[in-house]
Structure 1
Amino acid sequence: MTGRDTRRDVRTLTFLGAASTVTGSKTLLTVDGRRMLVDAGMFQGEKHLRVRNWEPFPVSPSTLDGIVLTHAHLDHCGYLPALVRQGFAGPVWCTADTATLAEIVLRDSAYLQENDAAHAARRGYSRHDPPLPLYTVADVERTLPLLRTVDYDEDVDTGGGVRVRMTRAGHILGSASVTLGWPGGSVLFSGDLGRADHPVLRPREIPPGAPDVVVESTYGDREHPDPEGAAHEQLAEAIRRTVARGGTVLVPAFAVDRTEVVLRALGELRRAGRIPDLPVHVDSPMALAALRVYRRAASRGELRPDLQGDLVDLPHLYEARTVEDSMALNNPRMPCVIISASGMATGGRVVHHLKHLLPDRRNTVVLTGYQAVGTRGRSLADGAQEIKMHGDYVPVRAEVVQVEEFSVHADSSDLLAWLAALDPAPRRVLVNHGEPGSSAALAARIRRELGITAVVPADAEVVDLSRG
């Protein structure tokens, strides 16, 4: 698949990631010999997925004419520097906020990889000698100048007759559904879709329809539960129980968007007197950088119009900027809340906090959304009695609470409503970015309720866009 097909009638999609899984999102569009990659995500979770990051890319990266990013989460942009390292030098199209957040995310990713490799070398727990990062900070610095920004709802010529259009997706700041069009055809990618009512961002919008639509299915087989009683009561109860025990509440949270959503909820709970006025620590350099981006976005009208003043209303909010600040939180002097990346506990400072806090029954870990198979977060959600970290097994004695209401992924009905609103209606829907049961359930519901052909492409499957 390394050669370039230059026939004028070849229009295909090849699924190179996020097929039968929720990670490593990469879809290759070939139009009359031109190659465009939609998303360049890193594989996370189970080992058989992570090792795919190290495999040669199925086509020579130097033959890619461009890359389009739907948003700045690592499973959608985190493989970019690896492609650059392998020879990609073309433009990367994305919204301005995605470009800003991707810079933060990619630098943090490279820094953590370099640190983890050095730590593994010192401790000797890696089977590789020497352990190496997938890419370095230097690779990221070579990647960032390739980013090209696109405004929402504008058609932009990417060259070779292929145009791109971004439509607000309402998942995280800057997220977009992407339409790629060419004379006589187009394909629409949902990207990760937000819920109809995001707690922080302006709502998603409906893009123009296309004959073929690639839709995510992270929550394709389920509905978000309606909170029983007052909003965020599950979180409030967990905090009150933990404070009564004299413990710490640790919230593994995605640095981009999830941290902002959790902070807003904590502010609402404090103002209503439903939780004590206790210290809240944000311990993630990436999350703190993203929080500054969100605060600036408020002045540009990118956040909900009903958000007045500062995004966060917590008088005892503290920023753990240094390693020393972070280490001090492993033995806090009083009950507190620690918000730390990553959201599925796959890396970052939260892993060190888990190592220190999980063995103590006074503490609580609050999981705030979807936990992919193979991640530490998923193991905790499934009731693991011990978790492996840095070569050691750590006993799980702390309370573990999973709060689904913080997820900003569209659920099954949200996804169906988005598809039903497309005009013109698609002739075919390709369901990806979901675990097998989730994708299959959404495809079945699309066929049953919308009467549209819906299929779940296999990994590496090639779909001919010229055929119905």
Structure 2
Amino acid sequence: MSVKLTFLGGVGTVTGSKYLLEAEGLKILVDCGLFQGYKQLRLRNWGPLPVDPKSIDAVILTHAHLDHSGYVPLLVRNGFKGPVISTEATRDLCAILLPDSGFLQEKDADFANRHGFSKHHPALPLYTRKDAELSLERFRPVGFGAQKKLFDKVDVRFRGAGHILGASTVELDWNGRKIVFSGDLGRYGDGMMLDPEPVRHADYLLVESTYGNRLHEQEDPEDVLAKVITETAGRGGTIVIPAFAVGRAQLLLFHIQRLKDAGRIPDLPVFLDSPMAVSASEVYRGHLGEHRLTAEECNWSGNAARYVQDVEESKDLDRNRMPKVIVSASGMATGGRVLHHLKHYATDHRNTILFAGYQAGGTRGAALVAGATSVKIHGSQIPVRAQVGSLQMLSAHADADEIMRWLGNFQAPPKLTFVTHGEPDAADALRHRIESDLHWSCHVPDYREEIELA
């Protein structure tokens, strides 16, 4: 018996992760993410899924980021009736991220219709908040390390991947054939998350390659933050930090509080302007032991930042000329409240826009980091005169050396290793390194490619 593996996303790009396994009349989808970035990728979200959602028996999620979970509401709306298997923390974060994603899509569509800048008449959301809330009923959480049997044929086990709260490496045992999905691997020695757990054996392995051709900077992130915040405040400017609502926002507040406690930065007001990030921050307190922080260190609202929930209070941040730090989603500036802050603050040379994570090709974040002199926001070209920086060392993804370190835990080479979840140059560089250093058999798959795992 062979298992057919089809790559429906997460290949040639770092978004849209979807891997379909088929055997013995079963169809299991590992990850169910949204495509982000380039328009030709985003359009895939609107087209029909290459497999009928009604025919899928189960979904397994590696973690809660929308490029891995954000398609679940649409899958359920289009007829999927099976369970969504995840860790408990992933379920808790999806309960925040997915409804918020639907809400933002509704708001963006409404904004486009009111201001007339969409090419579609009317502009519609991909899915709604209600769609997302209904999809949460399909979740069936499983603890780390526990074995879950699906349909008496497949055993599933989650191991910690680092990266963000709840992130996992997925081990599937299908009638003695072990298939491992790395998920998004985290960093070793991260300030907040635990190290990725080792995996010793796989017949077939799918490994991410987001930073497969790069090494993270070794500079201390607090040194960089202190310099940027102090210099910007000295100019009378504001620091706007687009940050992923889960993981990056919390780690930034952790470092900012440490800098304040040490007297290394001016005592500027710090605002966490993302209801999703605010809610996600509270989830960390409910999962002590799955990260490095204490309950007190998770009390960001009592320490580093003021939480901004109200829309009017968010607007007031742009009216107030006082130097400050605004941490707001989304991390790649693809949507959310941060766009309104960028429209206001990007035009003034005194301000700084500071990115704190990977910027996928085709996003505003990638354009800004590359030096764009203007960006299109809400149908208008906004000139960029502010300073633009990037905290590459704060990435939640393992770099090339860290991926190789994780692969070094295997006691024997997999029969075949698929290099996924990376831009083409990163994926091919990692493939070459694995083949050269480990002498493993590797393959970089194409979108919708089908492989028989014999």
- TM-score greater than 0.5 by the shorter chain: yes
Residue 334 of structure 1: how far off its partner (Å)? 1.5
- What is the correspondence of 1:207-246 to structure 2 with a 5 Å cutoff? 207-227=199-219, 231-246=221-236
Q: 1:371 aligns with which of 359, 363, 380?
A: 359
Instruction: Quickly say closer, same or farther: Cα 1:187–1:403, change in 2 above 3 A.
Output: same
AA at the equivalent of 2:113: A
Residue 232 of structure 1: how far off its partner (Å)? 2.1
Q: Find the counterpart in structure 1 of residue 291 from structure 2.
A: 303
Look up the SS of the partner of 1:139 in the other structure. Answer: helix
Residue 315 of structure 1: how far off its partner (Å)? 4.1
Q: Find the counterpart in structure 2 of residue 3 from structure 1.
A: none
Look up the SS of the partner of 2:418 in the other structure. Answer: strand
Normalised TM-score (structure 2): 0.97
Instruction: Quickly say closer, same or farther: Cα 1:86–1:200, change in 2 above 3 A.
Output: same
Q: Does 1:12 align with 2:33?
A: no
Residue 308 of structure 1: how far off its partner (Å)? 7.1
Q: Find the counterpart in structure 1 of residue 246 from structure 2.
A: 256
Q: Does 1:401 align with 2:398?
A: no
Q: Find the counterpart in structure 2 of residue 453 from structure 1.
A: 441
Q: 2:39 aligns with which of 29, 38, 47?
A: 47
Q: Find the counterpart in structure 1 of residue 283 from structure 2.
A: 293
Inter-partner Cα distance in structure 2 for 1:251 and 1:266: 12
Look up the SS of the partner of 2:286 in the other structure. Answer: helix
Residue 333 of structure 1: how far off its partner (Å)? 3.8
Residue 312 of structure 1: how far off its partner (Å)? 5.1
Q: Deviations over 1:55-81 (max 9, x none)?
A: 101110000010000000000000001
AA at the equivalent of 1:21: T
Q: Find the counterpart in structure 2 of residue 4 from structure 1.
A: none
Q: 2:136 aligns with which of 144, 162, 186?
A: 144
Residue 427 of structure 1: how far off its partner (Å)? 2.1
Moved more, 456-465 or 264-273: 264-273
Residue 53 of structure 1: how far off its partner (Å)? 0.1
Look up the SS of the partner of 1:167 in the other structure. Answer: strand
Inter-partner Cα distance in structure 1 for 2:86 and 2:211: 25
Residue 268 of structure 1: how far off its partner (Å)? 1.4
Matched positions, count: 453
Q: 1:115 aligns with which of 97, 107, 118?
A: 107
AA at the equivalent of 2:83: P
Unaligned runs of 5+ in 2: none
Q: Find the counterpart in structure 2 of residue 134 from structure 1.
A: 126
Inter-partner Cα distance in structure 2 for 1:16 and 1:79: 12
Q: Find the counterpart in structure 2 of residue 270 from structure 1.
A: 260
Q: Deviations over 1:269-292 (max 9, x none)?
A: 112221111110000000000001
Q: Deviations over 1:232-252 (max 9, x none)?
A: 212211111110111100000
Inter-partner Cα distance in structure 1 for 2:222 and 2:133: 40
Residue 367 of structure 1: how far off its partner (Å)? 0.7
- What is the correspondence of 1:331-346 to structure 2 with a 5 Å cutoff? 331-346=319-334
- Is contact 2:186–2:396 with CA below 8 Å preserved after alignment? yes
Inter-partner Cα distance in structure 2 for 1:309 and 1:289: 17
- Is contact 1:40–1:69 with CA below 8 Å preserved after alignment? yes
- Is contact 1:263–1:312 with CA below 8 Å preserved after alignment? no
Q: Find the counterpart in structure 1 of residue 237 from structure 2.
A: 247
Q: Find the counterpart in structure 1 of residue 379 from structure 2.
A: 391
Look up the SS of the partner of 1:114 in the other structure. Answer: helix
Q: Find the counterpart in structure 1 of residue 151 from structure 2.
A: 159
Residue 302 of structure 1: how far off its partner (Å)? 1.7
Inter-partner Cα distance in structure 2 for 1:142 and 1:92: 12
Q: Find the counterpart in structure 2 of residue 32 from structure 1.
A: 24
Moved more, 264-273 or 250-259: 264-273
Q: Find the counterpart in structure 1 of residue 96 from structure 2.
A: 104
Inter-partner Cα distance in structure 2 for 1:456 and 1:226: 29
Instruction: Quickly say closer, same or farther: Cα 1:91–1:319, change in 2 above 3 A.
Output: same
Normalised TM-score (structure 1): 0.95
Instruction: Quickly say closer, same or farther: Cα 1:152–1:424, change in 2 above 3 A.
Output: farther
- Is contact 2:257–2:304 with CA below 8 Å preserved after alignment? no
- Is contact 1:341–1:350 with CA below 8 Å preserved after alignment? yes
Residue 184 of structure 1: how far off its partner (Å)? 2.5
Inter-partner Cα distance in structure 1 for 2:314 and 2:415: 52
AA at the equivalent of 1:237: K
Instruction: Quickly say closer, same or farther: Cα 1:24–1:417, change in 2 above 3 A.
Output: same
Q: Deviations over 1:397-431 (max 9, x none)?
A: 01101111110100101111111102343121100
Q: Find the counterpart in structure 1 of residue 306 from structure 2.
A: 318
Look up the SS of the partner of 1:448 in the other structure. Answer: helix
Residue 31 of structure 1: how far off its partner (Å)? 2.0
Inter-partner Cα distance in structure 1 for 2:360 and 2:221: 25
Inter-partner Cα distance in structure 2 for 1:316 and 1:91: 39
